[in-house]
Amino acid sequence: MEIVIIFLLILIIMLCTCFYVLSPRRSRKTNMNGCYRSIKLPPGPYGYPIIGNILDLGQKPHRSIAELSKIYGPLMSLKLGNITTIVISSPQLAKEALQKHDRFIYGRATPIVSQVHGHDKVSMIWLPTTDTQWCVLRRICKNHMFSRQRLDETQRLRQGNLRKLRDYMQECCDFGRVVNVSRIAFSISLNLITSTLFSRDLSPIDSGPNASQDVVMEIVKALIEIVSTANVADYIPVFKLMDPQGIKRRATAYVGKMFAILDDIISQRLQARRSTSMDSALANDLLDFLLDFSDSELPQNQIKHLFMDLILAGTEATAITVEWTMAELINKPKKMAKARNELKTLIGHDKQVQESDISRLPYLNAVVKESIRLHPVGPLLIPHKAEVDVEMCGYLVPKHANVMVNVWAIGRDPSIWRDPERFKPERFLDGKMDFKGRDFELIPFGSGRRICPGLPLANRMMHLVVANMIHNFNWKLEGEMKPGELDMNDKFAFSLHKAVPLKAIPIKL
């Protein structure tokens, strides 16, 4: 299929090159501050006819774009197919775009995959921030679902999953079994979020023969893979009806499967709420809470769309961060020992780490921040869209342009970070910088009104899983591999995955 796509692209390029004339970077007479003047797009490389700069991105766009930004500057323009894309690679410009101009650069360009089952019409990720329903969803998430009080009330739902994780690691330790950290991180992250949402585990912690749960996990993985796949039809309109990669077809099928599962869960809960014998333990999860809103502000149909967003984004963000953090710690035994000693001193040897303990663990917090700096989950964030012409640094950000922030490049900028390629948690021990949207040197979850709504929950889950995996356990690599020899290459699939999944053996201390 990829060969067919390449052939079609080459054919179109050959046909259209005859009519294509290179011209200076586009300028526009635009009304800025009450007067009309002509301003140009930010500098950037010239592209090919039709496909623009798509070929410049390569297999790792975050790195390719970072290299281009060294040539053209921290405010750069690209042409991806027929879409003008403005790329930001500095914290100052990120702050200007996402804070100063956030009332103009607030939209989303909805990819085809987001449009299946009408998802883009009800999803907080894709709705414009001016939409009334977006405001309702945002308020419910911020003030109710992910408030500190609500998360404190639901933390017992997550503790059971962490006990299962520790029991599994102990079993692997007893038998000298290799742990697929990548798979376990995904499984435990999925269970943590679904237990919080509707008091259910959807993935087995081990590889046991639980067919129904394995099916759910595969659906979630398939959806994440589909969402992460670059779709040529999003950039070149002629392919929209053709769906040459089959992405829309696959997305429609898998979203349908996910909605069938969520519909069944919601139906069972509604039936339980009508009975007098409903388990009181269910009354504290987020599904029960949202059903109280369903008659007034939040239609029941919209709950499943919200849950799908939270499951996909929450699982991916937590699992990737846990795997990268564990890889860095296993590769740096002294850092691992320092983090473990903090847990032993402040928590105790045999006690399970609680969510209330996270704020008392400064080195663990620094470890997670440093891991996120080096390996941000979404290295290019989800692009914003300019709803009007905006001027930045004397250049034009045109209406309908995508605005992309390269947080990976910002996190490795030597003008911001000393020894940016080294894993040094100590740089965050002063506690002055965080990743919650205020410090633009570190915004892996975005900033402003578009910041990830589930960040408070993801923050707890990332720290808890890492803490429980290193508390009372040491780790060694497979075979004769020694610390420092671990493959730390990344793989771009919208999210930043570890190219070689992490596998290691836990050792009981």
Evaluate whether 284 touches 154 at the Cβ level (below 8 Å).
Answer: yes
What is the arrangement of strands in the sheet containing 179-180, beginning at the earlier edge strand?
179-180, 503-508, 473-477
Cα–Cα dist 390/42, whole Å: 12
Query: Quick one: DSSP state of residue 107?
Result: B
What are the residue boundaries of the structural domains of the chain, listed by start? 2-19+37-508
- Kindly give the pairing relationship between strand 83-88 and strand 402-405: parallel
CATH superfamily of 2-19+37-508: Cytochrome P450 (1.10.630.10)
Q: Which residues of the chain have pLDDT under 70?
A: 1-38, 207-213, 276-283, 294-296
Tokens coding 79: 């042409």
Cα–Cα dist 134/63, whole Å: 33
State the Rg of the chain over Cα.
Answer: 24
**Predicted local confidence at residue 431, as pLDDT:** 80
Cα–Cα dist 401/406, whole Å: 16
Tokens coding 3: 């060969």
Tokens coding 80: 């991806």
